[in-house]
A = this chain, B = another copy of it.
Amino acid sequence: MGVVIRNIERPDPAIVAALGECGVATIHEAQGRTGLLASHMRPIFAGVRLAAPAITVSLPAGDNWMIHVAVEQARTGDILVVAPTSPSTDGYFGELLATSLRARGIVGLAIDAGVRDVRELTEMQFPVWSKAVSAQGTVKETIGSVNVPVVCAGALVNPGDVVVADDDGVCVVRREAAADILEKARDRVAKEDETRRRLASGELSLDIYGMRERLAAKGLRYV
C-alpha cells in the first residue's frame, strides 16, 4: 500500500485505437468471453466508444486522494481506472477533476463507485463509466496506490492494459495480448458482416449456423 509506479509499459497506440473501433461486445467475444467488468458499470452519457491504456488507482472507500496523485502519472491518451478497496457509491470525481484530466490529455474514467457533476461532465463530453451518480463528497486522508494491479468491478486490470468502453460497458485486454485480440476481433467483425447480410435478407440463423441437426440430437421436439 502507498506505492506509485511511475513507469509503466503501454501498448502500441495504433492497436489501442483499432481495438476501440471494435467495441466492447466484439472484443469480449474475441478474447473468449473474459475481461468484462460487471454490468453495473454504465456510461454517464451515451454514444462514446473508446480504448485507452489504463492508469490504475487503488484507494480506500470514501477517499479520492489518490485520483489527484494519479493525474500526474497519466499521459495523453490514457484512461483512469479507479477501484475502491470496499464497496462505495460516493462521488469521487466531478467537473474540477475532469478539467484537470482533460488538460493533461486523459481521455476518460472508469470507476467502480460514484461520480458527480454529471451535467457538467456531459456538457464537457468527458466520458465516464461508473456504478453510481452521487453528490456525496469524499475526503483526502488515506493513501492508496497508483499503477498496481487492481480488481475493478470484478475484473483484474493491470497498468497499461487496454480498457475498451462503450454503451455496452467496459472490457479490459491484457497489454501483451492486444495485437492478438485485435486480429481475432477483426476476423469476427468480417464474419459478422457476412452473417448480417444473410440475416437481413431473411435467412434464419438456424440454417446459417446449421443448428437444426444438433437441436434434434439434443431432443428438441416440434409439436
Task: Give chain A's interface residues, CB within 8 Å of chain B.
Answer: 1-6, 23-25, 28-29, 32-34, 36, 38-39, 42, 46-47, 49, 60-63, 65, 68-69, 71-72, 85-91, 94-97, 99-100, 102-104, 114, 116-119, 122, 132-137, 139-143, 149, 151, 154-156, 166-169, 171, 192, 195-196, 199-202, 204-206, 209, 211, 215, 218-223
In the bound assembly, the distance between CA atoms of A85 and B62 in angstroms comes to 10
In the bound assembly, the distance between CA atoms of A89 and B39 in angstroms comes to 8
Task: Name A169's contact: one of B122, B134, B220 (CB within 8 Å).
Answer: B134
Task: Name A32's contact: one of B1, B65, B202 (CB within 8 Å).
Answer: B1
Task: Name A205's contact: one of B100, B102, B205 (CB within 8 Å).
Answer: B100
Q: How far is the CB of A70 from chain B (nearest CB, A)?
A: 10
A86 nearest CB neighbor, chain B only = B136
Q: How far is the CB of A61 from chain B (nearest CB, A)?
A: 4
What residues of B have a CB within 8 angstroms of the CB of A25 in the complex? Answer: 91, 94, 116-117, 135, 137
Copies in the complex: 6
Contact B196 A99 (CB under 8 A): yes
What residues of B have a CB within 8 angstroms of the CB of A61 in the complex? Answer: 61-62, 88, 90
Could you give 26 example pairs across A and B, Cβ below 8 Å? A2-B219, A4-B220, A6-B223, A23-B117, A24-B116, A33-B136, A38-B87, A39-B132, A39-B133, A60-B62, A61-B90, A71-B205, A71-B206, A86-B90, A86-B134, A87-B87, A95-B196, A99-B199, A100-B204, A103-B200, A103-B201, A119-B167, A143-B215, A143-B218, A154-B154, A156-B156
Q: How far is the CB of A14 from chain B (nearest CB, A)?
A: 23
Q: Which 4 A-B pairs have the closest CB atoms?
A: A141-B141, A39-B134, A100-B199, A61-B62
Residue among A6, A141, A151 facing the most chain B CB atoms (10 A cut-off)? A141
Q: How far is the CB of A94 from chain B (nearest CB, A)?
A: 6
A68 nearest CB neighbor, chain B only = B205
Contact A1 B34 (CB under 8 A): yes
In the bound assembly, the distance between CA atoms of A209 and B38 in angstroms comes to 34
